[in-house]
Structure 1
């Protein structure tokens, strides 16, 4: 039988089955082995036969799963032509990959795989990227594996337990006495994923959460839903799931093929029927288990034992029990509630509406800030729970727990510092440096909180690179070679003993020259710190400015005061939110070409970073613009506004590159403030300045309105997201009534068209 005949028969059998059962979509995955070895001609033939057979019958969801070693632009052009989604096998960073995925001569394949994924991440191919499949090896560092995969920005990751049975159990570390090594590995990934803001779907975690709510699983390895797949080999024979090959020789064989048998006949095979029985098909131990509706007995192949066949719990039973119960306890406040509970409580509708309009009152912004503080507390506890302890760390933690009981406001003051969260996230990475970072940070927080509380007790703080950090207060240069410092408050201030020196730091008056204190400015209704000392401030995507001179700091104070006065006078609707939520401005290194630079880090609520611009008015624009990002980031921590599985990229009028949906949402929300700024500038200037402001107002008003409609039509907004975007639309529509001169409209449209043309040229 020729290969072409097998392909044609396969396509016809799938179409026959789809027709008989009224299917909306047929899901077909080309895998192997390595399917790219079939070559482009054979893959094209397969795509053509499937599309031809299913045309007018149902949709075709065609995918290919590859190791990406030979993936190139010619393959991707073919896949784009037939809309073939591409999944890639990659087990993590280079060390993890090289445990199992080397060439026969021992050479690593890692660089070739990364090259293929880089091609998939190009704008013209990104829509084809289906995700990454990672097989777990507990010898690998779970956080390092996660970080390596997350850095590749896949839309989803599927972590798979290695195939094993009771006859041939999985490899386990020698100290895995309770049989939960794989659960602990996945739970470390889970916590990192949550702390990272869930940047992509993780199928195992999403499936557990779905099944805990009573929904279906996304994988055959969990849940009680019937199995719905069949495997067709290249010779046309039907088999059951490939994983059954690990049970015993011939386990997946059906004795059927695409020429003689239909898919309905395959579905009636005893081995397939056995996987359709749900709870009734499980062992007595599984049926009595409290998490059986989530676990589903695990992957069918993993239950096999000689003598009892598949009527056993999974060989990963202890792992699955711990994984599911820990995630349940982490996410579900009420285990009996089957409703869709998100990880964070949702904002009330009136709060969401207020923020959607682009603004935010003192009370609403304070609500966001209080939730961010609760996240900071949660992260601090997670750092302590998940990282190794030392005597210094134990002592600092004990001090911190006492302070939290007797002076909780002092602890909150430190935990609300924007750069505590970046420290916590780095501490949870799981490597040796992260462990040292965790101990040092806990001690720094305890010492700073103790100083705020005026507690006269000594806290020992590890020193790194000769610098003692006291978040919210400043840093002390204690010199190279010093490993620890003793910090103690007294009635007049505090002292630091480090090495052979004692530094005296009075609250009032001159301090030691080695001290670099945070500069806090009490402006008219706004208290803001100019942060140029905290090492964790370097998280904004641009170089942080080194310590400012007194003259530079004074110039910043004057500009901030003038910008704040301008905001209060000309954009008073933004002032309450800024006063309530923007606590820190971090100076950035100016650009060489003089362009304005500003940033808001997703994990640093309450801070914006800015290279000092030429005028206070420009600074006002950057402040209101970036604080929009700060607010929206906090909203997204509370409420899902969009489906994170949306893979499409969108045109953003303010960016040269295509943006994911969340990026477009962020930019659109920030530009609500940009429109208001240019409207105010037009109102408060004259001559050429007013004309330039009118052009800017016209451009950003119209293009933001267009971006709002793009968001609304994306089909990927949650109900809360639809409500939020509707609020943004209402704000923009209210500005469409403002009169703009015809010359300004033409100029604005010309600039917008030039930007769009350049964007499209770059995307080709």
Structure 2
């Protein structure tokens, strides 16, 4: 039985031919530990291609993937011939569902790449990557024919073709395997002369059993020194082409995601299909031991979801938890990520891959070297130890005891908040929920009562069960309404909380729960269809029993709460059953159909991927604090609808928008409101006596100061979202790029104006002023990003129109 819902795989290497026309002595396929290539067919068969395409297509449809990347590989894939390559491209593209784009590439040594192949790839939209280790001397060190002849002239001829105007759009870049005995400057210059759009510099595959060569006299980290020499040339030249290794270090040092599986903590999403149709793990594992990439699965008998559940695939998706203890304690682990998985292998101690990379010292030296070289642009705030939060003068004490530190508050002030800060904030909210429930129960005048007595008892013997239920975003909605004077909901919701805790504890405890509207609701679990009246709920070790007034006994949920598992181990609930979820400003949707659930699942997965890419500084906090998404009914045509409720910590409500980018933006925007609302439960950031109204730059109507503060805080994320997308479009033209620039220009201006309006209000407490300064600090780098005049003009036009309407 599967033990987890798999993360979708989005990158596939399809082996077109299992042999090669070169005899490179550093090749991991033929020269390292694995020998499986000997028993495989030379060329992939049509039936294998067809079944592979079908598997990828069904996986893309099941997971609502917007794009998949397929790399035609080998051996040498051009040996498969143009007809088979055409069939591969056409079959793969035809199998994908509507709305899913195929990013099709081929990786070749270039020896056979001629004009006929280039014409074919231009017709089929196949990008071409070429292996080349530098100038002729560097390339000939390893990349030769079996008889020792050089391959360099043929490769240069192939690259020259790709640089012709007719084929330039096919030119994906160059792949260079490092040899520290090659002159790094000569290699860099030789590759740069070929005007590649990108270059991948790869460490030669090695393990602790077969370590990389380290020539004497070159120090303990020769690979780092080689790469740092190239990095300095690359920086001096103004970064003339993309280098994933360097860019990944720069990105991860700023908290962004890595661009390569050999660095960073992002889960691997790659699978390999061999010429016989067998599924394998990453090719680099061939360097570890014979059979290391084997999964025992194939395209004829197994789905890609089956493959995604394989323990080997899962091991490369477990992030920090999947690293050795040494790696987890390392200060550069979020950039290094433990290095390439295969490079951690050691066979003589039984620990397998549970080691640091054999390049550990090189990776640390490289990361620290790049950080030192780029200190001014690493994204560090430069803040040292934070001063304690003021507790006297104009700053008042927190409303109640809380676990937040000064460092947490500084994180929140800048708009962010990592996992530790969000966990502390969640603990404070759980304590507040307990207080509110107790106060609401006391106000009922019902004494102990069965439900309250059971909750109190379970809190002693099964506290985790009680915490899980009370941490549900809508657990305190009932208490908030009763304390606000609304007694129409009765005491049933508290009984439902006690029943859900009893079910989770599984100790045999029973409690009576009112049934209204034909449903018995168990918060965090789901609901059971029953006739109205009073039902007895009993939590059992292996489930529950519900006995209705008419004697009916139920042991299963009719509408369970659905959970969506996302990349990085984040699970979010789609709350469409809790009757108290109507605490938002907009009408909630009913129970999602299976089709709607599938649409939401796909949209959330795409949106989460975009948040990780475009809002990485916010992603960690979202994963730690956002537990629930409540679907709303669609708004008026053309209008996106979303909400955060002050008494529903951990939840946002959204009407599913038409695009994943919009959903990503709404999730981040609304969770900003959730965070700030929770902080305002603990601290006074402004003088409550201030009753003036303030204009926000983005609204025509004046708002109380808290409204301006909430909007400003939320729009920090909006500004960063559009800023990151603008940087991604740097140098590119087209409507999406123009829209991103215009939105960025508009929202950075609006947010900066709002921060200054807050600061000038003279109604902020000392801590509120600290928050205003933190928000200003976050905006500074975005305000410095240059934009075309057209984008600034569009922002000014929108601003003037808004002022006129106000």
TM-score normalised per structure 2: 0.49
Contact map agreement 1:387 1:430 (CA 8 A) in 2: no
Q: Aligned to 2:679, which of 635, 638, 643?
A: 635
Q: Aligned to 2:459, which of 404, 410, 432?
A: 404
Q: 1:429 to 1:645 in 2, by over 3 A?
A: closer
Q: Aligned to 1:516, which of 554, 559, 578?
A: 559
Q: Does 1:476 align with 2:528?
A: yes
**More divergent stretch after superposition (530-539 vs 488-497):** 488-497
Q: Aligned to 1:711, which of 758, 762, 777?
A: 758
**More divergent stretch after superposition (709-718 vs 414-423):** 414-423
Q: Does 1:359 align with 2:416?
A: yes
Q: Deviations over 1:66-86 (max 9, x none)?
A: xxxxxxxxxxxxxxxxxxxxx
User: Cα offset for 1:492?
Assistant: 3.1
User: Cα offset for 1:348?
Assistant: 3.3
Q: Which has the higher helix share?
A: 1
Q: 1:689 to 1:501 in 2, by over 3 A?
A: farther
Q: Which residue of 1 aligns with 2:539?
A: 489
Contact map agreement 1:681 1:693 (CA 8 A) in 2: yes
Q: Which residue of 2 aligns with 1:681?
A: 725
Equivalent residue runs for 1:268-347 within 5 Å = 341-345=397-401, 347=404
Q: 1:341 to 1:729 in 2, by over 3 A?
A: closer
Q: Aligned to 1:752, which of 795, 799, 802?
A: 799
Contact map agreement 2:575 2:630 (CA 8 A) in 1: yes
User: Cα offset for 1:501?
Assistant: 4.9
Q: Does 1:621 align with 2:673?
A: no
Equivalent residue runs for 1:734-745 within 5 Å = 734-745=781-792
Q: Which residue of 1 aligns with 2:688?
A: 644
2: CA distance, partners of 1:583 / 1:444: 20
1: CA distance, partners of 2:546 / 2:759: 56
The secondary structure found in structure 1 opposite 2:545 is strand
Count of residues in correspondence between the two structures? 409
1: CA distance, partners of 2:712 / 2:408: 19
User: Cα offset for 1:429?
Assistant: 4.3
Q: Aligned to 1:732, which of 755, 779, 787?
A: 779
1: CA distance, partners of 2:396 / 2:788: 50
Contact map agreement 2:395 2:765 (CA 8 A) in 1: no
Q: Aligned to 1:567, which of 611, 617, 625?
A: 611
Contact map agreement 2:676 2:710 (CA 8 A) in 1: yes
Equivalent residue runs for 1:129-278 within 5 Å = none
The secondary structure found in structure 1 opposite 2:718 is helix
Q: Aligned to 1:462, which of 514, 520, 526?
A: 514
Equivalent residue runs for 1:376-455 within 5 Å = 376-389=433-446, 394-430=449-485, 433=488, 437=490, 439-455=491-507
Q: Which has the higher contact order (CA 8 A, sep 6+)?
A: 2
Q: Aligned to 2:592, which of 530, 548, 561?
A: 548
2: CA distance, partners of 1:643 / 1:710: 15
User: Cα offset for 1:431?
Assistant: 6.2
Q: Deviations over 1:158-204 (max 9, x none)?
A: xxxxxxxxxxxxxxxxxxxxxxxxxxxxxxxxxxxxxxxxxxxxxxx
1: CA distance, partners of 2:692 / 2:495: 44
Equivalent residue runs for 1:593-632 within 5 Å = 593-632=637-676
Q: Which residue of 1 aligns with 2:405?
A: 348
The secondary structure found in structure 2 opposite 1:722 is helix
2: CA distance, partners of 1:754 / 1:639: 36
List gaps (5 residues or longer) in structure 2.
1-392
Contact map agreement 1:528 1:584 (CA 8 A) in 2: yes
2: CA distance, partners of 1:431 / 1:402: 28
2: CA distance, partners of 1:550 / 1:339: 51
Contact map agreement 2:437 2:479 (CA 8 A) in 1: yes
2: CA distance, partners of 1:626 / 1:432: 29
2: CA distance, partners of 1:644 / 1:475: 41
User: Cα offset for 1:486?
Assistant: 1.0
Q: Does 1:657 align with 2:701?
A: yes
Equivalent residue runs for 1:24-103 within 5 Å = none
User: Cα offset for 1:342?
Assistant: 4.2
User: Cα offset for 1:566?
Assistant: 1.3
Contact map agreement 1:446 1:459 (CA 8 A) in 2: yes
Q: Which residue of 2 aligns with 1:504?
A: 554
User: Cα offset for 1:465?
Assistant: 2.4
The secondary structure found in structure 1 opposite 2:701 is coil
2: CA distance, partners of 1:567 / 1:389: 47
User: Cα offset for 1:543?
Assistant: 0.2
Contact map agreement 1:613 1:619 (CA 8 A) in 2: yes
Contact map agreement 1:397 1:442 (CA 8 A) in 2: yes
1: CA distance, partners of 2:642 / 2:551: 40
1: CA distance, partners of 2:689 / 2:803: 26
1: CA distance, partners of 2:739 / 2:588: 31
Contact map agreement 2:395 2:766 (CA 8 A) in 1: no
Contact map agreement 2:395 2:767 (CA 8 A) in 1: no
Contact map agreement 2:481 2:487 (CA 8 A) in 1: no
Q: 1:597 to 1:453 in 2, by over 3 A?
A: same
Q: Does 1:670 align with 2:725?
A: no
2: CA distance, partners of 1:667 / 1:552: 31
User: Cα offset for 1:424?
Assistant: 0.7
User: Cα offset for 1:711?
Assistant: 0.4
The secondary structure found in structure 1 opposite 2:555 is strand
Q: 1:345 to 1:715 in 2, by over 3 A?
A: farther
Q: 1:523 to 1:463 in 2, by over 3 A?
A: same
Q: 1:708 to 1:614 in 2, by over 3 A?
A: same
Contact map agreement 1:641 1:721 (CA 8 A) in 2: yes
2: CA distance, partners of 1:652 / 1:339: 25
The secondary structure found in structure 1 opposite 2:800 is helix
2: CA distance, partners of 1:698 / 1:364: 30
Q: Deviations over 1:705-728 (max 9, x none)?
A: 011000000000000000110000
Q: Does 1:536 align with 2:583?
A: no
**More divergent stretch after superposition (661-670 vs 425-434):** 425-434
1: CA distance, partners of 2:524 / 2:467: 11
Q: 1:405 to 1:618 in 2, by over 3 A?
A: same
Contact map agreement 1:495 1:502 (CA 8 A) in 2: no
Q: 1:564 to 1:431 in 2, by over 3 A?
A: closer
1: CA distance, partners of 2:629 / 2:711: 20
Q: Deviations over 1:96-117 (max 9, x none)?
A: xxxxxxxxxxxxxxxxxxxxxx
Contact map agreement 1:599 1:626 (CA 8 A) in 2: yes
Q: Which residue of 1 aligns with 2:432?
A: 375
Q: Which residue of 1 aligns with 2:195?
A: none
List gaps (5 residues or longer) in structure 1.
1-336, 760-764
The secondary structure found in structure 2 opposite 1:608 is strand
Q: Which residue of 2 aligns with 1:591?
A: 635
2: CA distance, partners of 1:339 / 1:579: 31
1: CA distance, partners of 2:411 / 2:634: 35
Contact map agreement 1:345 1:639 (CA 8 A) in 2: no
The Cα RMSD (Å) is 2.0
Q: Deviations over 1:404-426 (max 9, x none)?
A: 01001110111111111211112
